[in-house]
A and B are shown apart, each in its own frame.
Chain A
Amino acid sequence: MMASSGAPAFPVPSHVALLHYGESELRDAVLGFLQLGLDRPSEALFCFGEPGVGERLLRNLESRVGRDLSPEYRAGRIVLGTANPDVDRQLENVIAPLEAFRASGFALVRFVGIVGWNAPDFPPPEDFLWFESKLNEIISGFPVIGLCPYDLARMPARAIVYGALETHPFVLSGGTLRQNPQFIAPDRYLHERLVALPWLQDDGRAALQAGGGRMGIPAGSGR
């Protein structure tokens, strides 16, 4: 799905998993996405993640556009949200700004939620998956394009399977937006899938311990 500008044509609302490899690919994808909103006064930007991540994203955006974005930030057109290990708090940290944007009359919110898998300031993975699935219900009530970047260079495969693929109706990878055949709707996901997550089962925990859960990029060891 591509718009005439070459950028993906996101449906509104939409909840999209962005698969990227490393920081530079993240910046390329996300900053372009955010900048489009910056250029349109009726749109708002919402950057979310672990402490400091929103700020860093904003600084990167400032570098890209070549100006200080403090006015937009002070005016509430750019909001930085913070993750929370308590998943209910995290959800509230998303909902409250969206409601504020709506009350302010913004036509579209561009939301970027940088994913932290098993990170200290993030909910544990199973809670995070609940959050991701729940976002589908929440986003459906707002004019939002929600982009959730999953860094292939950092995450284990299960974050992609259970997080990116099963909780997002769309996947953006290599600049191409696609509908995601692995998506599981929230009503089924929450009641059928979550409770059956492998690492919450005894043999699943054993699998993780046996595998060591290696992550990271290829090192070409042993050659």
Chain B
Amino acid sequence: MERERRLKVMGGEDVGREALDLERGGIAVLDSAGNVTWTDEAWSAGDGEGGLPRAPIGTNLLEAYRGHEDPRAQAVANGIVAVFEGKAMYFEIEHRASRESGRSYLTSVAALRGDGAGAVVVHNVVGGRATPNLRRPVDVRSTSGAPASSGIKRLTPREREVLELMAAGLDNRAIAANLRIQYTTVRGHVRSVIEKVGARSRLEAVARAYRNGWVPP
């Protein structure tokens, strides 16, 4: 039975910093020859600080990493076909398989949570050209898991009240009635809450509130 390969999760650091978007780091997919066939925006935009040297699409990453002093790069040079960065939160990438051509691309990359280690499952990596089925770069999200404690501290007392009522499931009209303020004022408070706690949506703000104990269970 083939043993599961242990791979290093390499590159940039987002430890201790909660980020909805992977600000540094990124994903580069290599073909079996080591050529970079696809990268996400974060990879392209990354400056490699604390991470690995970037290589654009079409260049051979393995050549660049062979003999590199960084053991992580050496791991890549030794046959790892997916390189991704971050402190091993959970990534899944799905590429489509082209049945018509009979060729398939990287269909699943799963990085398990760990201390910089990850297990990768690779199916039938075929390379040589950029994956045609991706119309736009994949949106990669990651969080270091660190609590966003700073978010709650930035809320005004009224905003905290609003957040509690949001967490109770009330819509804005009901919040306005409860607090005896204008509906439009509530809308402003809600927007402010979402922004200050670093959420992308109303619900995510509520989820964070519960998760971080900002509102009673």
A binds B: yes
Q: Mark B97-111, 1 if CB is under 8 A from A, else 0.
A: 101001010010010
Report which of A22, A52, A124, A153 forms a contact with B121, defined as CB distance below 8 A.
Answer: A52
Q: Which 6 A-B pairs have the closest CB atoms?
A: A219-B139, A120-B104, A120-B97, A59-B4, A220-B200, A23-B110
Residues A201-217 near B (CB distance < 8 A): 215-216
Asked whether B123 lies within 8 Å of A216 as measured between CB atoms, the reply is no
Is A118's CB within 8 Å of the partner chain B?
yes
Is A164's CB within 8 Å of the partner chain B?
no
Report which of B90, B107, B200 forms a contact with A119, defined as CB distance below 8 A.
Answer: B107
**14 A–B contacts, CB within 8 A, in A order:** A23-B92, A23-B110, A51-B123, A52-B2, A52-B121, A52-B123, A73-B1, A118-B99, A119-B97, A120-B102, A124-B99, A215-B94, A219-B139, A220-B139
Distance between A66 CB and nearest chain B CB, rounded to angstroms: 15
Q: How large is the interface on B (under 10, 10 to 19, 20 to 34, 35 or more residues)?
A: 10 to 19
User: Which of chain A's residues have a CB closer than 8 A to the CB of B94?
Assistant: 154, 215-216
Report which of B4, B92, B123, B200 forms a contact with A22, defined as CB distance below 8 A.
Answer: B92
Asked whether A58 lies within 8 Å of B92 as measured between CB atoms, the reply is no
Distance between A118 CB and nearest chain B CB, rounded to angstroms: 7
Tell me the B residues contacting A by CB distance below 8 Å. Answer: 1-4, 90, 92, 94, 97, 99, 102, 104, 107, 110, 121, 123-124, 139, 200-201
Distance between A135 CB and nearest chain B CB, rounded to angstroms: 23
**Which DSSP category, helix, strand, loop or mixed, fits chain B's interface?**
loop
Asked whether B200 lies within 8 Å of A223 as measured between CB atoms, the reply is yes
A24 to B89, CA, bound (A): 12
A73 to B121, CA, bound (A): 22
Is A132's CB within 8 Å of the partner chain B?
no
Total number of A residues with any Cβ neighbor in B under 8 Å: 24
Q: Mark A18-58, 1 if CB is under 8 A from B, else 0.
A: 00001110000000000000000000000000111001101
Report which of A51, A52, A56, A220 forms a contact with B201, defined as CB distance below 8 A.
Answer: A220
Distance between A28 CB and nearest chain B CB, rounded to angstroms: 13
Asked whether A120 lies within 8 Å of B99 as measured between CB atoms, the reply is yes
User: Which of chain B's residues have a CB closer than 8 A to the CB of A221?
Assistant: 139
A59 to B139, CA, bound (A): 30
A103 to B139, CA, bound (A): 51
Report which of B1, B99, B121, B201 forms a contact with A58, defined as CB distance below 8 A.
Answer: B1
Asked whether B97 lies within 8 Å of A59 as measured between CB atoms, the reply is no
Known: A55-B2, A70-B1, A153-B92. A120 touches B200 (CB 8 A): no
A223 to B194, CA, bound (A): 12
User: Which of chain A's residues have a CB closer than 8 A to the CB of B200?
Assistant: 220, 223
Asked whether A56 lies within 8 Å of B97 as measured between CB atoms, the reply is no
A51 to B94, CA, bound (A): 17
User: Which of chain B's residues have a CB closer than 8 A to the CB of A24?
Assistant: 90
User: Which of chain B's residues have a CB closer than 8 A to the CB of A223?
Assistant: 200-201
A58 to B121, CA, bound (A): 14
A22 to B124, CA, bound (A): 20
Chain B residue at minimum C-beta to C-beta distance from A119:
B97
A59 to B104, CA, bound (A): 24
A22 to B91, CA, bound (A): 10
